[in-house]
Amino acid sequence: IACASTGNAASSLAVLAASAGLRSYIFVPETIPIAKLYQIATCATRVFRVRGTYEDAFDVATEAITRWNWFNRNCAINPYLVEGKKTCSLEIFEQLGYRVPDWVVVSVGDGCIISGQYKAFKELRLVGETSRVPRLLAVQAEGASPIVDAFKSSRDLVPVKATTFADSIRVGKPRNWRKALRALRESDGEAITVSDEEILESMLLLGNKCGLFAEPAGAAGFAGFLKARKLGIISRDETVVVLVTGSGLKDPSSLEKKIEVVDIEASGDAVGEYVDGQGQDKA
C-alpha cells in the first residue's frame, strides 16, 4: 500500500499498515517537518522524501503505484478516504445530542476532510435523521488558497504555487477540489483565507485558553472562525464546530519564535526575582 502525503495521512497509514502486517511505501515532500518524518519512518516499510513539493510527491507516488501495482491510498483516487473522514461528523452529530450545528469549520488542503464532513451530514439527511446540513466554512492559508479562489470566483480550480508555513495545507493543486467545492456550494457555505501570522496567534490562543496544542494547519480553522466572526459571516448566537486537524507535536518548531521561556538558576530566589518583577504572574 502506498500514498503521497504532507505528513499526517502518511503517519496514519504507516502506523496502521505496520499493525496489520502490511508493507507501506510513503512519499513526502522535502519540506516535511522532522517530527512527522520520524514517526512515519519508524513505522513505514520505506519513506521516499521527494526533492520537491507535495504535488511532486503525489505525481511520483502515482507513477510508482502504477509501475509496481501497489494499492493506491491517495486522495481523490481512493474513495475510502472520504468515507473515513465523514465519521468525524457522525461523531459530531452524536456528541451534540443528535443535533446539527449551524457551522462546521475546516482547514482545507486537498479538500478530502471537508468533503467527508458534508457527505456525513448529507447522508444523515437522506436517511431521515435530520432535516438539514450545516453550513461549511473552508479555511485556507493566504499563500495556498486555490479552493477559496475557485469558490469566490465561481469557476473551476486553477493550481497555484503554495507558500505557507502550515505544511499540511501547503497544497497548490488540490486533488479533491471538485468534491470540496460541491460541499461548499450545496451547504450554502463560505470560504476564507488567513495569514500565517493569524494562524500563529490562533495556535497560542488555543493553547492559552483551551489547552489545545495544534499544529499550524490544525489551528488554521480556528483562525478562520475568528476572522469569520469579525466579518459577520458567523453570528454570536450560532452553534459552531471547529475541527482541529493535527497535534502541535507534529510540528513543534513552528512556534519557536513565539514561545517565551524564562531561564533561571536552580534556586527559589531566582524564581522570586522574576515573580517580584512580574506581579501579574503571582496569581
pLDDT at 259: 84
Range of lowest pLDDT (98-112, 133-147, 174-188, 257-271): 257-271
pLDDT at 206: 97
pLDDT at 215: 96
The predicted-structure confidence for 135-171, as pLDDT tens digits, reads as follows: 999 999 999 999 999 999 999 999 999 999 999 999 9
Distance, CA of 219 to CA of 258 (rounded, Å): 15
- The per-residue pLDDT of the chain, averaged, comes to 95
Percent of the chain with pLDDT over 70: 98
Fold matches, 2-68 and 80-255: yes
pLDDT band at 276 (very low <50, low <70, confident <90, very high): confident
- Is the distance from CB of 111 to CB of 171 less than 8 angstroms? no
Instruction: Answer yes or no: pTM beyond 0.95.
Output: no
pLDDT at 24: 98
Q: Grid coordinates representing 130?
A: 435530520
In this prediction, residues 189-201 reach a mean pLDDT of 98
How far is residue 73 from each of residues 18, 52, 180, measured CA to CA in Å?
15, 20, 18
| Bridge pairing between strands 240-242 and 103-107 | parallel
pLDDT at 257: 79
The predicted-structure confidence for 44-84, as pLDDT tens digits, reads as follows: 999 999 999 999 999 999 999 999 999 999 988 899 999 99
Does residue 283 have a pLDDT over 70?
no
- Is the distance from CB of 219 to CB of 190 less than 8 angstroms? no
Does residue 281 have a pLDDT over 80?
no
Measured at the CA of 169, the angle between CA 40 and CA 78, to 5 degrees, comes to 65
Burial of 87 (0-12, 13-18, 19+ CB in 10 A): exposed
Distance, CA of 35 to CA of 4 (rounded, Å): 17
Percent of the chain with pLDDT over 90: 88
Distance, CA of 136 to CA of 115 (rounded, Å): 10
CATH 3.40.50.1100 for the 2-68 domain, yes or no: yes
Distance, CA of 249 to CA of 132 (rounded, Å): 36
Domain ranges of the chain: 2-68, 80-255
Range of lowest pLDDT (63-72, 99-108, 264-273): 264-273
The predicted-structure confidence for 212-268, as pLDDT tens digits, reads as follows: 999 999 999 999 999 999 999 999 999 999 999 999 999 998 888 788 888 989 998
- Is the distance from CB of 214 to CB of 225 less than 8 angstroms? no
Rounded to 5 degrees, φ, ψ at 233 are -70, -40
CATH level 3 topology of 80-255: Rossmann fold (3.40.50)
In this prediction, residues 277-282 reach a mean pLDDT of 61
Does residue 280 have a pLDDT over 80?
no
Does residue 89 have a pLDDT over 80?
yes
Does residue 12 have a pLDDT over 90?
yes
